[in-house]
Amino acid sequence: YYNEENIYSQGYDMKQLRSKVGLVFQYPEHQLFEVDVLTDVCFGPKNQGLSREEAEARAKKALEQVGLDPSYYKQSPFELSGGQKRRVAIAGVLAMEPEVLILDEPTAGQDFHHYTEIMEFLRKLNEEGVTVVMITHDMHLMLEYTPRALVFADGRLIADDSAAAVLCNQELVERAALKETSLFTLANRAGITPPEAFVECFIKEDREVRSHGR
């Protein structure tokens, strides 16, 4: 369902849906295929019916958003680093100006520097009004960046809560085969209640410290 409409109902405009919901694969090289970066990012807007000039304007804006300057435009996307490929893939989706961005394991294979760059960019994008949905097994990423966590087990939604509340719920952790956060373990051993408040406070303070380079 999208906006309370069944997308598989007869007559539903799937093409229109694809212009509103963008998907970035876990392995971005799987959705890169053109001869150079700019042409690749232009593909989506052109497919929406935009002129070459309009598509290029959208593509350049999207590439600027993900931090790739004009020196990358004529490079082959297959010669870029893993982090740069992911940025190009995200730019290709952003150029279509979606309302919702879905990312499968957005930080997979990234070192801490690129992990932080990607996630800070997505956080900023969300603040600008784009709904960002991430599928991840990275519990720290969930704690640090998601205000809302949906937990699935056996194909069913079993929880919809804050990330800290989810990882401080032992029954949920066991049922969904999640990993208990060490912060929850520490809170329990120290007798801190409620433990989720401690976890949220720690994550907030940790981000604040790192953002100032200390």
Going across the sheet that includes 131-135, the strands are 21-24, 100-104, 131-135
- The two tokens of residue 56 are 């290029």
Question: Average of pLDDT values for 84-93?
Answer: 89
* Alpha helices, H only, the chain: 14-20, 37-47, 52-65, 82-94, 112-127, 139-145, 163-167, 170-175, 182-190, 195-211
pLDDT at 10: 93
pLDDT in tens, 24-83: 888 877 889 999 999 999 999 998 889 999 999 999 999 998 889 999 999 999 999 887
pLDDT at 4: 92
- The two tokens of residue 52 are 């070459």
Kindly calculate the radius of gyration of the chain based on its CA atoms and give it in whole angstroms.
20
* pLDDT band of 144, cuts 50, 70, 90: confident
* pLDDT band of 18, cuts 50, 70, 90: confident
Burial bucket for residue 121 (CB in 10 Å: 0-12, 13-18, 19+): middle
Q: How many residues are there in the chain?
A: 214
* pLDDT band of 213, cuts 50, 70, 90: low
pLDDT at 70: 95
Least trusted range by pLDDT, from 74-78, 89-93, 171-175, 210-214: 210-214
pLDDT at 158: 95
- Give me the sign of the Cα torsion angle 153, 157, 158, 160: positive
Contact by Cβ (8 Å): 150, 160 = yes
Q: Which residue has the higher pLDDT, 112 or 73?
A: 73
* pLDDT band of 119, cuts 50, 70, 90: confident
* pLDDT band of 141, cuts 50, 70, 90: confident
Of the candidates 148, 193, 150, 190, the one whose C-alpha atom is nearest the C-alpha of residue 168 is 193
Partners of 160 in beta bridges: 150
Contact by Cβ (8 Å): 159, 169 = yes
Question: Phi, psi at residue 159, to the nearest 5°?
Answer: -160, 150
pLDDT at 67: 83
What is the distance between the alpha carbons of residues 131 and 140, in angstroms, rounded to a whole number? 20
What is the distance between the alpha carbons of residues 68 and 184, in angstroms, rounded to a whole number? 39
pLDDT at 59: 96
Question: Average of pLDDT values for 100-122?
Answer: 83
